[in-house]
Structure 1
């Protein structure tokens, strides 16, 4: 049951393709919609990270959100905030956006690679919103039953 590949679509972003402007810091800077294809019946919550793979700081975190109720779809434009009432108290931790989605915005003239990773967990995580990605992943490690990634670029 552990670590089976999670298949998902990120609306407007093909794997290896260019980020839609609306999902970047040069556009509306809103999170995209996620459509989960093969979610395990054992999944209780979902967690999402967005990382800049080209940043000088290895896998620089743009966004980390956890305790999203397990579902086949996560709507776009998740609002800013430590906890998200519309997602049954999902928690946004510390990333580039400080408790919110912060889309790609590399320096002008530079092309950066980004990666969304969606994790399916068998529980809720009891962590404060002041947590960074590293702490969240450490706490989640033994509870991840599926994960998958989509990469894209923006310049």
Structure 2
């Protein structure tokens, strides 16, 4: 049996390639969005501050007052027991960047005013989680350069998830994924 001898340089290059592969695979599997049920959006999510696929006013970004935009929705299924609201940026250089996590919102709630206070106990007995800035509550678009897309997503669940305040997006969605019965989405853009 012949043993293949590799030079130290080839071994180093193979090790680097292996580490890059592991890092890319880990990044790809860290976002729970791909694991969620593929439901046709039925909840109509909208904002009085901007229309779908248009520019988000700077008031709701890091260049302005950095406050959450007003949001409203309809068509929540009657069997829904709670709602989740997530805002994120899939165009961020390091992967999806989370701007807002709000969960266990009452299904009777059909709107949120602009400027929701960034505290763990949110409106209508909801709970707020941590965004990618490491803070509780909403932090607005703040792209390093270019135009990014910002998705506001709503999920109706057949139960409350009842996890501690300050949870991150992936923990919230992992707890919710088997209980999502309806979804909705609003996408806005912001450029710097």
Tell me the TM-score normalized by structure 1.
0.89
Deviations 1:33-72 (A, max 9, x none): 2211211111222111111121022221111110111122
**130 and 12 in structure 1: CA distance in 2 versus 1, 3 angstrom threshold:** closer
RMSD: 1.7
| Matched residue, 1:110 | 146
> Following superposition, which runs of at least 4 residues in structure 1 exceed 4 angstroms of deviation?
none
Query: In 1, Cα distance between the equivalents of 2:120 and 2:74?
Result: 28
1:68 paired with 2:105, answer: yes
What count of residue pairs does the alignment treat as equivalent?
151
Which whole-Å CA distance do the structure 1 matches of 2:181 and 2:85 have between them?
A: 14
Counterpart for residue 82 of structure 1: 120
1:36 and 2:91 matched: no
For normalisation by structure 2, the TM-score amounts to 0.73
Distance in 1 (alpha carbons) for counterparts of 2:166 and 2:61: 24
- d(CA) in 1 for partners of 2:62, 2:104: 25
Give 3-state SS (helix, strand or coil) of 1:142's partner.
coil
- Structure with the larger helix share: 2
Aligned: 1:125 with 2:161: yes
Larger gyration radius, structure 1 or structure 2: 2
Query: Larger % of strand: which?
Result: 1
Name the CA distance, whole Å, in 1 between partners of 2:104 and 2:98: 18
| Runs of at least 5 residues in structure 1 that lack an aligned partner in the other structure | none
Matching residue of 1:6: 43
Partner of 1:56: 93
Give secondary structure in 2 for the equivalent of 1:54. Answer: coil
